[in-house]
């Protein structure tokens, strides 16, 4: 990355009255984590469990094969517990300095809030919200990890559901509405570890009418030409250069 493009981004951040960040799978990759749908990870999971993650990580599989589901869920998503990502730490620092107004993430590890961000939308929920489907009591990740076989509610003994969106689930309408409202308000929109063609975000991007669209990701994409600023790097490296980490 050149100093010139970094200066452009720094100026855009400093001049923006309302900045929103969208965090995609690249914010996982920089921590050594991968989406379940990524080719390499999906192949490894199918080899290990004999079933594609696109079926393992569904409401149908959770309901019909709860023991097998939680074996997969605990081993692949809860172990080990991952600390907040460097990018999330940078976003928390930006928010504290009033350089960032809202973070919207598709990742399920609740990195931004755990790093200290106050204004966060977890579009797909997160692993720290494990609720009883009968009484609504919430259970910690540690409770789920330490449960024998199928974790059951400690209050009523009924089924616990991870508070994440499985493949095929509809996103919460309230979260969608809030995300759209924030993007509509933004003057600067930061796409971190994702692209304009993102399966998750591309519908939201139609609501951006601000001044500057900035993308920070590692790999070139044909849609990059539609952004105002493009930096091919890991977001954490860019934020380190800008002094937020």
| pLDDT (tens digit per residue) in 108-151 | 999 999 999 999 999 999 999 999 999 999 999 999 999 988 99
Mean local confidence (pLDDT), 168-174: 93
Sequence-separated contacts (24+) of 139-146 with Cβ below 8 Å: 141/78, 141/81, 144/70, 144/73, 144/74, 144/78, 145/74, 145/78, 145/79
How many Å from the N-terminal Cα to the C-terminal Cα in the chain? 17
Determine the pLDDT at residue 1.
62
Task: Tell me the per-residue pLDDT of 48-96, one tens digit each, with 9 for 90 and over.
Answer: 999 999 999 999 999 999 999 999 999 999 987 788 999 999 999 999 9
Task: Tell me the per-residue pLDDT of 6-34, one tens digit each, with 9 for 90 and over.
Answer: 999 999 999 999 999 999 989 988 888 88
CATH of region 1-33+82-124+170-245: 3.40.50.1220
Residue 71, phi then psi, degrees to nearest 5: -60, -50
Q: Which residue has the higher pLDDT, 39 or 122?
A: 122
Helix (H, G, I), strand (E, B) or coil at 169: coil
Confidence of residue 37 (pLDDT cuts 50, 70, 90): confident
Cβ–Cβ < 8 Å for 244, 94: yes
Mean local confidence (pLDDT), 176-182: 97
Cβ–Cβ < 8 Å for 106, 27: no
């Amino acid at each position: 990355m050149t100093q010139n493009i970094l200066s452009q981004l720094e100026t855009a951040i400093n001049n923006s009255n309302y900045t929103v960040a969208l965090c995609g799978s690249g914010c996982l990759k920089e921590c050594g984590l991968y989406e379940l749908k990524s080719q390499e990870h999906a192949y490894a999971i199918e080899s290990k469990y004999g079933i594609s993650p696109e079926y393992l990580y569904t409401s149908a599989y959770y309901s019909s094969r709860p023991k097998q589901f939680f074996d997969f869920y605990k081993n692949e998503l809860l172990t080990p517990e991952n600390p907040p990502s460097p990018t999330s730490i940078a976003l928390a620092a930006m928010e504290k300095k009033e350089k960032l107004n809202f973070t919207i993430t598709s990742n399920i590890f609740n990195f931004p809030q755990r790093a200290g961000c106050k204004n966060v939308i977890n579009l797909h929920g997160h692993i720290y919200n494990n609720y009883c489907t009968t009484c609504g009591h919430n259970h910690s990740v540690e409770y789920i990890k330490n449960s024998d076989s199928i974790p059951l509610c400690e209050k009523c003994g009924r089924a616990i559901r991870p508070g994440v969106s499985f493949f095929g689930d509809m996103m919460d309408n309230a979260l969608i509405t809030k995300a759209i409202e924030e993007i509509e308000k933004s003057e600067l929109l930061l796409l971190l570890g994702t692209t304009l063609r993102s399966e998750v975000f591309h519908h939201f991007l139609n609501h951006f009418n601000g001044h500057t669209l900035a993308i920070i990701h590692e790999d070139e994409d044909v849609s990059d030409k539609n952004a105002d600023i493009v930096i091919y790097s890991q977001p954490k490296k860019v934020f380190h250069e800008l002094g937020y980490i």
